[in-house]
Amino acid sequence: MHKKLLAGFVAGVASVAMMAGPSFAAVTDPGVLVTINPGGGLGLNDGLKLDIAYGQIQIGRNGSGQLYDESSIPSAAVPYDMENFFVVALSDGANTTFIGNMYPSASGTGSKHNWSSFTSESVLTDGNKSGVVINHLKYGTGTSEVLLDVTWTYTYPNQFFNVTADLQLGSDYIGGARQHRIYWYTDSYLEGSDSGNQFGGMTPAGQEVAGVSSAAGTQIEAFRQVSGQSLKWFAGYYECPFDDPTDPPFTNVQVCGTASGTDGYVSAFTDFPNVAAPATLIDNGFGVNSASSAAASESVSFDLVFASCLTGVPALPCADSATGKGTLANTGVDTSSMIALGLGAAVLAALGVVLVVVRRRRA
């Protein structure tokens, strides 16, 4: 369905693209670090700064990195240097293959492989304050090829952005008992601290949000569900996806929300539990995963929120405030949502150019 929507969108902006002129053409590179809003992220009113490469991201906000390590940014040459990852888990019913670094020290069984190549495309607008960046991740060749296109969409000065990942699998991973899941997870860093609390549930506006909050309750970092999706989530100790953590005096269940298994949820090829860990002031993170699927292609989309909270406002109402209290169109799902981002006609034309490239790659 997603690819059909992309094709329809491209057709709808074709005439606009002809009038836009070459200055709005997509920038295609062999694989580089791209920064959206490079002059921002220094205070609370100049938007988010997004450093993006190899399917990884660092968020600059109020003068600090928001993901661990807060002083690091993604490398265009290294597929695993940041503590946030897209992992494609491929199961044949007996064994699991993991594409994309689970974590440098991840335990557990299964065959683990890093993405082997990366190319990028970007369209930056509004003086580089807004933009769309696509990371093309690849592993293998021919019938064993795994392709993941990760699209990051940010509109200044929002306190959130959209992430969409489109997966295409070679025939070796399709048929029989073969299933796959897409996982994304991160180690968080809030207001200069590596420790915080967790939350999850429905906001007053009826949107599912899950993530972490600072000890003072004045900042959140969170996943937000978008329409057309039903992703599973975790909010707890950062190792829960790939290990069996405890953080004394807390137990595994207290730091993960439910028992994470010997080697974590991802290692066990299970869903995240949709339960926020009850332990407080732990080294935490959050993440999402798609349902188990046997399809040759898959698409997941979600918003990431990095926002301030007024004193005394709980995390879930704070998430509503950061994303427009439910009045803002869901992003990353269909063409009307993309138009609702508020980009001008010329930018939409450029976005059409980007999507044409993605479509041709999969033809």
* CA gap 327, 330 in Å, rounded: 9
Which element (helix H / strand E) includes 319? Answer: helix 315-322
Let me know: does 292 contact 181? Beta carbons within 8 Å: yes
Which pLDDT does position 40 carry in this prediction? 98
CATH number of the domain to which 314 belongs: 2.70.98.10
Q: Write out the DSSP string of 7-37.
A: HHHHHHHHHHHHHH-GGGPPEEESS--EEES
Q: What is the DSSP letter of 5?
A: H
What are 84's strand-pairing partners?
A: 186
Q: What backbone phi and psi angles, to 5 degrees, belong to 324?
A: 90, 20
* CA gap 275, 185 in Å, rounded: 15
Which pLDDT does position 349 carry in this prediction? 40
Question: Over the range 31-45, which residues count as b (16 or more CB within 10 Å of their CB) and which as e?
Answer: ebbbbbbeebbeeee
Which pLDDT does position 109 carry in this prediction? 64
Give how many domains the chain has, as a whole number.
Answer: 1
Contacts of 180 (CB under 8 A, 6+ apart): 88, 89, 90, 91, 167, 169, 173, 292, 293, 294, 298
Which pLDDT does position 261 carry in this prediction? 85
Residue 172: count of CB within 10 angstroms of its CB: 16
Q: What is the DSSP letter of 332?
A: S
Contacts of 306 (CB under 8 A, 6+ apart): 48, 59, 61, 66, 159, 160, 219, 220, 221
Q: Which domain holds residue 145?
A: 2-362
Which pLDDT does position 20 carry in this prediction? 31
Beta pairing class for 232-237 and 275-276: parallel
Contacts of 251 (CB under 8 A, 6+ apart): none
Q: Write out the DSSP string of 79-134.
A: TT-SSEEEEEEEE-SS-EEEES---TT--SSSEEE---EEEEEEEEETTTTEEEEE
pLDDT, tens digit only, all 363 positions of the chain: 333 333 333 333 333 232 232 222 355 568 999 999 999 999 999 999 999 999 999 999 999 999 999 999 999 999 988 889 899 999 999 999 999 987 655 555 678 899 999 999 999 999 999 999 999 999 999 999 999 999 999 999 999 999 999 999 999 999 999 999 999 999 999 999 999 999 999 999 999 999 999 999 999 999 999 999 999 999 999 999 998 898 889 999 999 999 998 889 998 999 999 999 999 999 999 999 999 999 999 999 999 999 999 999 999 999 999 987 544 334 443 322 332 333 333 333 444 433 333 332 332
Q: What backbone phi and psi angles, to 5 degrees, belong to 283?
A: -75, 95
Q: In the chain, helix, strand, coil percent, each to 5?
A: 20, 35, 45
What type of residue sits at position 225? Answer: Q
Let me know: does 272 contact 288? Beta carbons within 8 Å: yes
